[in-house]
């Protein structure tokens, strides 16, 4: 999954390096690189976050089911 973002950052860095001014290079890097990359990683990371959350909820339920139910006294 991370091959595409790494390649995209490489391309954006090369494009930003070819800009005439530092300001143009920074804006190119931010708006062509960081913003789309953050959106891409957030969107494509959603299924993994959902699976992790459901797994944690299931583990919490299993822990509660294994608790001792006998009275102490």
Q: What is the DSSP string of 1-56?
A: --HHHHHHHHHHHHHHHTSSSHHHHHHHIIIIIIHHHHHHHHHHHHHHHHHHHHHH
The per-residue pLDDT string of the chain (73 residues; one tens digit each, 9 = 90 and over) reads: 689 889 999 999 999 999 999 999 999 999 999 999 999 888 888 888 888 988 988 887 777 766 666 666 6
d(CA 40, CA 30) in angstroms, rounded, equals 14
Q: How many domains is the chain partitioned into structurally?
A: 1
Q: Which domain holds residue 29?
A: 3-65
Residue with tokens 């102490």: 72
Report yes or no on 72 lying in a domain: no
Report yes or no on 27 lying in a domain: yes
Report yes or no on 39 lying in a domain: yes
| End-to-end Cα, the chain, rounded Å | 55
Residue from 47, 31, 43, 30 nearest 4 by CA: 43
Report yes or no on 71 lying in a domain: no
Report yes or no on 73 lying in a domain: no
Report yes or no on 8 lying in a domain: yes
């Amino acid at each position: 999954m991370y091959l595409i973002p790494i390649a995209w950052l490489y391309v954006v860095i090369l494009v930003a390096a070819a800009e005439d001014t530092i300001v143009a290079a920074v804006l190119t890097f931010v708006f062509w690189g960081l913003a789309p990359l953050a959106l891409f990683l957030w969107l494509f990371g959603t299924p993994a976050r959902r699976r992790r959350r459901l797994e944690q909820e299931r583990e919490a339920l299993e822990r509660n089911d294994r608790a001792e139910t006998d009275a102490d006294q």
